Amino acid sequence: MENPNTPIHILQFGTGNFLRGFFEPIIQRYSYYNKPLNICIIQSTNGNTLEKLERQNFQYFLYEAGIKNGEKIQNTQKITCIQSGISLPVDQDKFFEFAGKPEVKWIISNVTEAGLVWKTEDKFEQFAESFAGRICQWLYVRFTKLPDSETILLPCELLPKNGFLLKEFVLKHADHWGLPNDFSEWINQKVHFFNNLVDRIVPGYPSNLDSIQLDGDQLTVQVEPYSFWAIESQKPNFHLLPFVENNPGITIASEIDSFSLRKIRILNGCHTWMTAKSIYLNLHDTVSEFIGNTNLRMEVIDLLDQEIIPTLPFDKEETIAYSREILDRFANPFMAHKFYDISLNAFSKFKSRLLPIIEFHLNHSGLIPQKTAKGLLYLLLTYIEKPEKIRDQEDIKSYFSLLPIGNSIQEKLSRVLSEQFNITWDKTWEKVVEEIQSENN
């Protein structure tokens, strides 16, 4: 529900922990010193977070805990900048109403790598299923009602050039639906798609900290002190992005590919690898537990130094130092970042985060990087042998459920590698499977 007397300025696609722990504190900080900005949060997936938020008047606590400048810190902050929420496709009329309100200027999203994809849609008159399709339809309403208003889009999905990618999909939808050329020209003039790189570990509810009492708030979001946002722009553009000015955790740079590539390969790549290994072998529930195991920490260091860092075109010593800072963040004693949460949409995450590592080594040496390959097989074996642990898109679940029952595990793995990853099965992969099977005994 929305208070009719409270204007909405920002539409946020994503009710999950990350944006609530990353973006909302930024808006809260800005609103404290300036005219408040209000958010409408949009839920477009299954779940009941929106319902829970509504019962709490869209307010919740942020719990920041960790090591900062060598000292342990624990702070709480009440987040009050969300003023309404809608669920799609049910509330599509309300969604399109926002397109006709000039005070609504920003759309931020975190629909994950699985959500920022191309999907061929049906007729324009039918509400789109894909995120990019819905943005295209919303912008067309904006075009017809408020052609002089600017719109700023800030996709935070962990994909290179995410802003340009979203714009590409929106224009492709416009062409597919046969929308007027004037609409596409208007997008180029009035709609600003920024590339973004976001970095903060947000494990969600601090379930391991029994001493923390926050008025019974079950939507409390725990975050680490570290927070970094890089936005790609040739100019400061503070008139388009007023909430980034004077915020030390936000950088506007003419090129952010280096920030993005380094973070996705190292931080997110390690998250995906550790999750695959830990879930398949039933090792640990959280990242900090995993990294706290000396032998497992050394495995991650070997993965980084031998297979991931050599793929990055940056200074080696600086990159190694950055990777060790990431490991220290993983070991945050206040964090209980659950592999269960990280495992959501793990299939597409592996493709964007770690598949490039395999491809790099195959192209440069003709050899399969053993540790990364093992991570991929941990994931695939989980999907094949333990379908109850899959937290992924329905089409991915369906694909694995339809693999021939009579085929051996190696035959299934060979088929998936070929069809989904364009990788040819050979004796090297057989050896990796044998190593995993010995670990699992």
**CATH number of the domain bearing residue 303:** 1.10.1040.10
- Is 2 part of any domain? no
- Is 19 part of any domain? yes
Nearest-angstrom CA–CA distance, 32 and 158: 29
For 212, counting Cβ atoms within 10 Å of its Cβ (0-12 exposed, 13-18 middle, 19+ buried), the class is: middle
| H-assigned helices in 128-256 | 131-145, 162-176, 181-190
Nearest-angstrom CA–CA distance, 264 and 231: 15
Nearest-angstrom CA–CA distance, 383 and 42: 30
**Tens digit of each residue's pLDDT, the chain (441 residues):** 555 668 999 999 999 999 999 999 999 999 999 999 999 999 998 888 999 999 999 999 999 998 877 788 889 999 999 999 999 999 999 999 999 999 999 999 999 888 999 999 999 999 999 999 999 999 999 999 999 999 999 999 989 899 999 999 999 999 999 999 999 999 999 999 999 999 999 988 887 555 455 667 889 999 999 999 999 998 888 899 999 888 889 999 999 998 889 999 999 999 999 999 999 999 999 999 999 999 999 999 999 999 999 999 999 999 999 999 999 999 988 888 999 999 999 999 999 999 999 999 999 999 999 999 999 999 999 999 999 999 999 999 999 999 999 999 999 999 999 999 999 999 999 999 999 999 877
CATH of the domain at 142: 3.40.50.720
Q: Which of 223, 255, 287 is the last residue of a domain?
A: 255
Quick one: 81 and 228 in the same domain?
Answer: yes
Nearest-angstrom CA–CA distance, 330 and 339: 12
Residue 426: C-alpha distances to residues 218, 416, 417, 431 (Å):
49, 13, 11, 9
Q: Which of 191, 226, 255 is the last residue of a domain?
A: 255
Quick one: 80 and 202 in the same domain?
Answer: yes
Q: Which residue shows structure tokens 């204007």?
A: 7
What percent helix, strand, coil does the chain show, rounded to 5?
A: 50, 15, 35
- Is 1 part of any domain? no
Number of domains in the chain: 2
Nearest-angstrom CA–CA distance, 27 and 218: 22
Quick one: 351 and 285 in the same domain?
Answer: yes
Structural domain span for residue 87: 10-255
Quick one: 268 and 381 in the same domain?
Answer: yes
Q: Which helix (H) or strand (E) holds 325?
A: helix 316-330
